[in-house]
Amino acid sequence: MDVCFDPRLMEEAVFLALREPHRQCEARRYHASRERLYALEDMEKRERSFQELHVHAFGELKLEHPLAALLNEIPVLRRLGRLNVQAVGLHKEEGADLYDGAQGVTALLKLCPETLVAPDKLVRRMRPELEHLADMLDPGFQYDPQYELAGQTSAQENLIRDRFALLWDLRIEARLAVRGHATEPSHFRLRQRFEKLFGRSSAWSETFARIFDGNDLQRRTQGDLFHFAHEPGAWLRNLGLGDGAGFSNSRPCPVCGFPSTVWAPNPERLSHGAQEYLRTRLPQWSPEQGLCEQCEEMLTVVAR
Ligand SMILES: [Zn+2]
């Protein structure tokens, strides 16, 4: 696999790295070379020489090493023909994606220069991103970037998309945990997202632990994860976690299927739009069966 760093990223990474106190010698040498280049009158030649200087300094400071070590951890990434590494300005813009390039399957990794020069940060932020790439390349996961969502409204599609993204992150975190690479803060954040997206019940914590520790997600395809995101109840029953078994004081919500202890207080007073929506999706549902608060909230949005 060819790893190609974008010139802007190399330049900014060199600048940042040379600010570190233990690199004063290298910094002096670099700035002296830079000064000499300003004497060049031919602008084109000067620009080219600056670029060569950055490439040289980037190599000398071994700034590509931490990323190379991380790439080596994940053998399936060797299927990539090329990895383009590009600079972005914000942490939220960082990420990895695949596309078909001239040299076969190509990946684009976007990261901030500060991330590249801080090995701990690089590992923490980019390891999960590269694991996403690994799943995309794994034939067993059957990744399809054009996968069609099954939702009927945009609110429902957003929920399915968010749940799918969470389940994929969970799959990766569980895999990293097996290799001893999971971190406490990211585990905590995943639990919070799980609670928010799948429902608040006294049993959610147990459900989360069973799904996570059981490592069931590793055997699943992208389509399975979308199916679970769409119909969590069916998935939980499949795992033997549904129909209230093992959950004290909770029962599955007839609408989303997730075990819940927090119920909508007046299901018979749902708005007309919400009732209509439920009738088309779940003709067998009646207000006496109730629904969880999470579903009531979602329906309020959907029926607006
Ligand atoms: Zn529900």
Sheet holding 95-101, edge to edge: 2-5, 82-87, 104-111, 95-101
Q: What is the pTM of this model?
A: 0.77
Q: Which residue has the tokens 């190599």?
A: 59
Residue 258 contacts residue 231 (beta carbons within 8 Å): no
CA of 259 to the centre of ligand 1 (A): 8
The closest alpha carbon to 235, from 227, 244, 247, 223, belongs to 227
CA of 148 to the centre of ligand 1 (A): 23
CA of 200 to the centre of ligand 1 (A): 9
- Max Cα-Cα span within the chain: 84
CA of 168 to the centre of ligand 1 (A): 22
CA of 292 to the centre of ligand 1 (A): 4
CA of 290 to the centre of ligand 1 (A): 9
Sign, CA torsion 217/145/132/150: negative
Residue spans of beta strands (DSSP E) within the chain: 2-5, 82-87, 95-101, 104-111, 251-252, 259-260
CA of 205 to the centre of ligand 1 (A): 16
Q: pLDDT tens digits for the chain (304 residues)?
A: 899 999 999 999 999 999 999 999 999 999 999 999 999 999 999 999 999 999 999 999 999 999 999 999 999 999 999 999 999 999 999 999 998 777 778 999 999 999 999 999 999 999 999 999 999 999 999 999 888 776 666 666 777 888 899 999 999 999 999 999 988 888 899 988 888 787 665 567 777 888 888 778 898 999 999 988 887 777 777 777 654 443 344 566 788 766 666 788 888 888 888 888 888 888 888 888 888 888 888 888 877 7
118 is written with which tokens? 């801080």
Phi-psi region of 92 (alpha: psi -120 to 50; beta: other; left: phi over 0): alpha
The number of angstroms, rounded, from the C-alpha of 62 to the middle of its chain's C-alpha atoms is 28
Q: Which helix (H) or strand (E) holds 233?
A: helix 232-238
pLDDT for 242 equals 59
Q: In 10 A of CB 228, how many CB atoms?
A: 24
Amino acid at 200: R
CA of 297 to the centre of ligand 1 (A): 9
**Cα-only R_g, the chain:** 25
CA of 162 to the centre of ligand 1 (A): 16
Number of residues that make up the chain = 304
